[in-house]
Chain A
Amino acid sequence: MAEDPNLVSTWLSAMVSSAEELATSTLGLDGITVLDSGLPSDRSFPGSYVALVGDDYNFEYGVAGSWEACGTLGRALLFMEPDEELTDDDMADAINEVINIVAGGVKRRMTEVDPGLKLGLPAFFNGTLHPTSHQEAAGSKIEIAGAEVYLLAFRHKV
């Protein structure tokens, strides 16, 4: 790993790479497009979050966007047509699975940095995590399967 693992941006970079892998494998797409960097100013996004906790590094990872964007991404994961009805439960389940896969890819990419990394169970909620002075955060806005969503990484300083 050439990048500094002490930088939250390094872990966000692994997350973007993992999202690219999800797009090109399971979703069968050409890839993702990184649209912007930084955290969203809107703090009322729905999204899914999961903990990735290790011996030296502790993170919350999230994928969040508008309800419409989450629906678009959920339908893509479930191979549904754009106009097919998607219940809130199924959308939450699908977005949970997106962050589960993406964070699993981060774990795989960063396991040499922290072999003790353990992946939690994802949770879907409306609103974004708010980093405190004890946390660092980074985000990237991406387009994946026609959905514009944020990839978010929150690091708990130890």
Chain B
Amino acid sequence: MKILIVDDSKAMRMIVLRHLRQAGYGDADFVEASNGLEGLAQVKAEGPDLILSDWNMPEMNGLEFLRKLRSDGDDTPFGFVTSEGTPDMQILARDSGAIFVIAKPFTVETFRETLDAAGVA
């Protein structure tokens, strides 16, 4: 399994990666991008099985990234890991094609339960 982590914060990419490993995804291959534009390039280059993206990022934010993917016909499973955890943002995310939203701050258990519920193998 290949997982793309998109976040403008190197620190947060590292934290997400660490939590994924502890949540049982230690055997996955991880690739990274620091905004939506880089994310689009990584999707084409790497063909990830799952995308975890921040929402607020420079250049191209997470919502624009998701909408661009879907408008291009790419249906790679996509989840947000974001500080934008309000109910309205969760609805907007799901209506745009995200399968889950993990709000920061999170725990290893949050990742495990959310990915299990989303059917991510």
What DSSP secondary structure best describes chain A's contact surface?
helix
Is the C-beta of A93 less than 8 angstroms from some C-beta in chain B?
yes
A125 to chain B, nearest CB (A): 17
Across the interface, do B104 and A104 meet the contact criterion of CB distance under 8 Å? yes
Which of the residues A74, A77, A97, A119 comes within 8 Å of B84, measured between beta carbons? A119
Across the interface, do A26 and B107 meet the contact criterion of CB distance under 8 Å? yes
Across the interface, do B84 and A104 meet the contact criterion of CB distance under 8 Å? yes
Which of the residues A27, A97, A104, A119 comes within 8 Å of B103, measured between beta carbons? A104
Given contacts A22-B105, A101-B104, contact A108 B10 (CB under 8 A): no
Across the interface, do A97 and B12 meet the contact criterion of CB distance under 8 Å? yes
Contact with B along A57-94 (1 / 0, CB 8 A): 00000000000000000100111000000000010011
Is the C-beta of A128 less than 8 angstroms from some C-beta in chain B?
no
| B108, closest chain A residue (CB) | A28
Across the interface, do A93 and B15 meet the contact criterion of CB distance under 8 Å? no
What DSSP secondary structure best describes chain B's contact surface?
loop
Across the interface, do A108 and B107 meet the contact criterion of CB distance under 8 Å? no
Contact with A along B72-89 (1 / 0, CB 8 A): 000000000011111110
Which of the residues B10, B11, B83 comes within 8 Å of A105, measured between beta carbons? B83
Given contacts A103-B83, A121-B58, contact A108 B11 (CB under 8 A): no
Contact with A along B86-110 (1 / 0, CB 8 A): 1110000000000000011111001
Across the interface, do A78 and B15 meet the contact criterion of CB distance under 8 Å? yes
Is the C-beta of A44 less than 8 angstroms from some C-beta in chain B?
no
Across the interface, do B86 and A26 meet the contact criterion of CB distance under 8 Å? no
Residues in A with CB closer than 8 Å to B8 are: 121
Across the interface, do A111 and B88 meet the contact criterion of CB distance under 8 Å? yes
Residues in A with CB closer than 8 Å to B9 are: 93, 96-97, 100
Q: Which residues of A line the B interface, CB within 8 A?
A: 21-22, 25-28, 74, 77-79, 90, 93-94, 96-97, 100-101, 103-105, 107-108, 111, 115, 117, 119-121
**What 8 A-B pairs are tightest by C-beta distance, nearest first?**
A104-B83, A26-B105, A25-B105, A94-B11, A22-B105, A111-B86, A101-B104, A93-B11
Q: Which residues of B line the A interface, CB within 8 A?
A: 8-12, 14-15, 18, 56-58, 82-88, 103-107, 110
